[in-house]
Amino acid sequence: MKKTLVSALALGVAAGVGSQVMANPHNQHAEKSRSDLVEYFKAKHPERPFEDYIHGIYGYNAERKSQWEMQEEFPPYQDHVDQGKALFEKDIAAYQNCLVNADKGVNKIRTSYPYFNDKTQKVVTLEGDINRCRTEAGLKAFGWKRGDLAKVSGYLAYAARGEKINVVINSEGAKKAFEAGEREFAEPRGQLGLACASCHVYNASRQARSDILSPVLGHTTHFPVWRGKWNDLGTLHRRYEGCHKNMRHEAFKVQGDEYRNLEFFSAYMSNGLEVNGPSYRQ
């Protein structure tokens, strides 16, 4: 029965991309990795539903979840979301025919990213495209990691709440980008010899000093995030940079190939989960 349930879950979360998986040889490795990850967490925490992984550590600790739910009643990021909406609408002409699926509604933009651009042979992120659209329209690019970029990205995430992640791998270039991101996630790095997987797969749900280690499953659904440590809204790549510094590993350039590939991998692993950003994290 348990094996049947796990198999059904793996098939269920692939809904929406399943036909592409069967017909597309480029994502066979990626889909096997994603299915294995879902099964791993299901076996590790069989009481936790797949869809609950959008809540990160709050699915592991009832007290932390209660504190988070109180934060969400009057979220500290709400003003930033409102400011992001105003910034987006101010320059709507720059974004409307530039951001993917903007013509289909503001709620469709966030889940169109990240994607692999076969012309440039690079992963494209939402934050990267926001600044590309701005510069191509003759506007000044936002600073990376925080500030106005995080506000606009936060607004687009908020507008997309309930929409599901659906990253597609349909070319050899996309396959290689996924595999590069997977290596970055899985290989030990820095002076401490840690991998992203050390914390976010093998030790997810465990205590690290006063913190609980979050699962990679669902990682990208809630970004950008308002961190209590930052007292600010920040992007996913800002978090990558901070993690690498904590690992005593030289951080890569924000929005460089390494972090974009890592985001591509992480987002694909969360296919089928709902966007619930921005969110509060410790």
Q: CA 181, 41, 277, 101: dihedral to nearest 10 degrees?
A: 60
Given 1.10.10, 1.10.760, 3.30.70, 1.25.40, which CATH number is that of 78-159? 1.10.760
Domain spans, the chain: 2-73+168-281, 78-159
Walk along the chain (282 residues) in steps of 10 and give the mean pLDDT of each run.
34 40 79 95 95 94 90 93 98 96 96 98 98 98 96 98 96 97 92 90 88 93 92 95 89 95 98 95 82
Q: Which residues are known catalytic residues?
A: 243
148 in Cβ contact with 258 (< 8 Å)? no
Question: Does 1.10.3720.10 match the CATH number of domain 2-73+168-281?
Answer: no
221 in Cβ contact with 275 (< 8 Å)? yes
DSSP codes joined into one string, the chain: -HHHHHHHHHHHHTTTTHHHHHH-GGGHHHHHHHHHHHHHHHHH-TTS-GGGGGGGGGGT-HHHHHHHHHHHHS-TTHHHHHHHHHHHHHTHHHHHTTSTTGGG-GGGTGGG-SEEETTTTEEE-HHHHHHHHHHHTTPPPPPSSSTHHHHHHHHHHHHTTTPBP-----SHHHHHHHHHHHHHHHS-BTTTTB-HHIIIIITTTSEETTEEPPPSTTGGGG-SEEETTTTEEE-HHHHHHHHHHHTT-PPPPTTSHHHHHHHHHHHHHTTTPBP--SEEE-
- Which residues have a Cβ under 8 Å from the Cβ of 55 and sit 6 or more positions away? 65, 68, 218, 222, 276
Cα 202-16-108 angle, rounded to 5 deg: 95
Whose structure tokens read 């709400």? 78
Whose structure tokens read 């659904």? 221
Q: What is the pLDDT of residue 11?
A: 37
Q: Which residues pair with residue 116 across a beta bridge?
A: 123
- Which residues have a Cβ under 8 Å from the Cβ of 50 and sit 6 or more positions away? 9, 12, 13, 38, 42, 272, 273
Q: What is the pLDDT of residue 18?
A: 43
pTM (whole model) above 0.75: yes
Residue 42 corresponds to which tokens in the numbers above? Answer: 């299901």
Q: What is the pLDDT of residue 3?
A: 37
DSSP codes joined into one string, 246-257: HTT-PPPPTTSH
CATH fold match for the domains 2-73+168-281 and 78-159: yes
